[in-house]
C-alpha cells in the first residue's frame, strides 16, 4: 500500500496556522506590518516544532541571509527517525498590510507535500490565471483577457455581464482592468491577499469566475496547493521585475515563455493545505476575541481524499498557550490572556 502523509498531520497544520493567526491578530490595526509578520512567523516556527515530520521549507520568507526565520531550506518539525519527510510552503500572513490596518481578507496559510514536489520559482512575481473546475482546461494565459472572458461566458452559459474577474488593484494591471470593463464583465478589485482571491474562483458562492494578474510567486504555489483538492486550475508564467532578475532566471535555465500548471507547481498525490482567517474575509472569518475567548475559522484540504473541512475553534485564553521562538531569546509558551505576557509581545522587537 502506498505510503500516505499521516492523517493527524492535517489537524496539526491547522494548529500552526491558528497560532500564527492568533498571534498576529494582537497587532490588528496597529499600522505595523513588521510586528504582524514577525508575530506570525515566530508562532508558526514554534508550533511546527511539535509536528511529527521531517519538514523542509521550500517556500517561505526568502533566502536565509534575508530572512532568519522560515527561510528557504530551513528544517521544521521534530525530525524523529521514523517521521515522514515532506516539503513545506508557508505564508505566515498573506496580507500583512491588511492586518496592520484592520482590512479584510488576511489569512495564515501553509501547504505540505511529498519531498521534491513543491516548485520554487526564480522570480518574485509571476503572471497568473486561475479558474474553478468548470473552466479548467478552457482558458489560456497567453490569450487576451477579452477572449478568455468570451470563452468563460460560453462555457458557463451566461452573458458576459455575469462573469466576474478578480484583479489585484495595482497600476500594472491598468490595461487588464480597462479590457475587462470594455467588454462588459464585472471586476472585483482586491488590495492584497491574492491567495484567497485565487481560491475564490473555486467557491460556488463567491460569485468569482476568473483571477488574473501579476502577483507574488510564493502565493501562486500556495494557491496551487489548495487547487489540488478543489480541482481548479492555475496557470503561471515567470515575470521578472527587471533585467537583472531576468538574466538570473535565464542563467539558471528557466524558460520565460513556459506555462506552469497546478501539478507543475505542487505535484504528487498527497498534498495538504491549511489556512486560518486573520481578518474578516470572503474566504474565511477573521479572529474574534470575546470575553476571555478567541474564535478562529480555518480550512483544511487533503488532495488524496479530496476532503475539505471548515473548522471553527473556540480558544479559552485563560488556558490557551502558543509556543513561540524568540520571546526573550528563549523558546517559551505564551498565555494570550495574561496582561504581562501580552505586553511583552506588544513591546517585542521581533525583527
The three cell numbers of residue 129 are: 490565471
Q: According to the annotation, is 37 in a ligand binding site?
A: yes
**Crossing angle for the helix pair 8-25 and 33-48, to the nearest 10 degrees:** 150
Closest to 14 (Cα-Cα) out of 57, 51, 41, 53: 51
Contacts of 312 (CB under 8 A, 6+ apart): 295, 296, 297, 298
Q: According to the annotation, is 219 in a ligand binding site?
A: yes
Query: CA neighbours within 13 Å on the CB side: how many for 138?
Result: 19
Q: According to the annotation, is 171 in a ligand binding site?
A: yes
The string of DSSP codes covering 21-44 is HHHHHTTTTSS-HHHHHHHHHHHH
C-alpha torsion sign, points 84, 71, 113, 273: positive
- Strand pairing of 260-261 and 233-239? antiparallel
- 263 vs 65: CA distance, rounded Å: 30
Q: According to the annotation, is 172 in a ligand binding site?
A: yes
Q: According to the annotation, is 170 in a ligand binding site?
A: yes
Q: According to the annotation, is 61 in a ligand binding site?
A: yes
The single residue listed with the C-alpha cell 489560456 is: 140
Give 118's DSSP letter: B
Backbone angles phi, psi at 48, to 5 degrees: -65, -25
**Crossing angle for the helix pair 174-183 and 145-156, to the nearest 10 degrees:** 40
Instruction: List the beta strands (DSSP E) in the chain.
Output: 53-59, 75-76, 84-94, 107-114, 125-131, 164-168, 186-190, 210-216, 233-239, 260-261, 272-277, 288-290, 293-302, 307-316, 321-324, 332-335
Q: According to the annotation, is 263 in a ligand binding site?
A: no
In contact, 56 and 116? CB cutoff 8 Å:
no
Residue ranges of the binding site = 37, 61, 91, 94-96, 125, 170-172, 192-194, 216, 219
Residue ranges of the binding site for Mn(2+) = 37, 61, 91, 94, 219
Residue ranges of the binding site for substrate = 94-96, 125, 170-172, 192-194, 216
Amino acid at each position: 500500500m502506498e505510503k500516505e502523509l499521516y492523517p493527524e498531520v492535517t489537524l496539526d497544520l491547522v494548529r500552526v496556522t491558528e497560532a500564527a493567526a492568533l498571534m498576529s491578530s494582537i497587532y490588528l490595526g496597529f499600522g505595523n506590518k513588521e510586528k504582524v509578520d514577525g508575530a506570525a512567523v515566530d508562532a508558526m516556527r514554534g508550533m511546527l516544532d511539535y509536528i511529527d515530520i521531517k519538514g523542509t521549507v521550500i517556500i517561505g520568507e526568502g533566502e536565509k541571509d534575508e530572512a532568519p526565520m522560515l527561510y528557504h531550506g530551513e528544517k521544521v518539525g521534530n525530525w524523529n527517525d521514523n517521521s515522514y519527510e515532506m516539503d513545506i510552503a508557508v505564508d505566515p500572513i498573506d496580507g500583512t498590510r491588511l492586518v496592520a490596518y484592520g482590512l479584510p481578507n488576511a489569512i495564515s496559510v501553509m501547504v505540505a507535500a511529498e519531498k521534491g514536489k513543491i516548485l520554487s520559482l526564480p522570480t518574485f512575481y509571476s503572471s497568473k490565471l486561475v479558474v474553478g473546475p468548470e473552466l479548467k482546461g478552457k482558458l489560456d494565459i497567453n490569450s487576451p483577457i477579452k477572449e478568455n472572458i468570451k470563452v468563460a461566458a460560453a462555457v458557463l452559459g451566461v452573458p458576459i455581464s455575469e462573469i466576474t474577474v478578480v484583479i489585484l488593484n495595482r497600476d500594472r494591471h491598468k490595461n487588464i482592468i480597462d479590457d475587462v470593463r470594455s467588454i462588459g464583465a464585472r471586476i472585483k478589485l482586491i488590495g492584497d491577499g491574492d491567495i484567497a482571491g485565487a481560491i475564490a474562483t473555486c467557491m460556488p458562492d463567491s460569485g468569482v469566475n476568473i483571477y488574473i494578474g501579476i502577483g507574488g510567486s510564493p502565493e501562486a504555489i500556495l494557491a496551487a496547493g489548495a487547487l489540488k483538492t478543489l480541482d481548479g486550475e492555475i496557470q503561471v508564467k515567470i515575470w521578472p521585475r527587471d533585467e537583472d532578475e531576468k538574466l538570473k532566471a535565464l542563467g539558471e535555465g528557466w524558460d520565460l515563455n513556459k506555462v506552469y500548471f497546478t501539478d507543475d507547481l505542487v505535484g504528487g498525490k498527497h498534498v495538504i493545505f491549511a489556512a486560518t482567517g486573520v481578518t474578516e474575509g470572503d474566504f474565511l472569518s477573521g479572529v474574534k476575541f470575546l470575553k476571555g475567548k478567541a474564535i478562529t475559522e480555518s480550512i483544511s484540504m487533503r488532495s488524496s481524499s479530496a476532503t475539505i473541512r471548515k473548522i471553527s475553534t473556540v480558544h479559552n485564553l485563560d488556558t490557551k498557550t502558543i509556543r513561540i521562538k524568540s520571546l526573550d531569546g528563549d523558546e517559551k509558551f505564551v498565555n494570550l490572556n495574561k496582561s504581562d505576557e501580552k505586553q511583552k509581545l506588544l513591546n517585542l522587537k521581533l525583527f
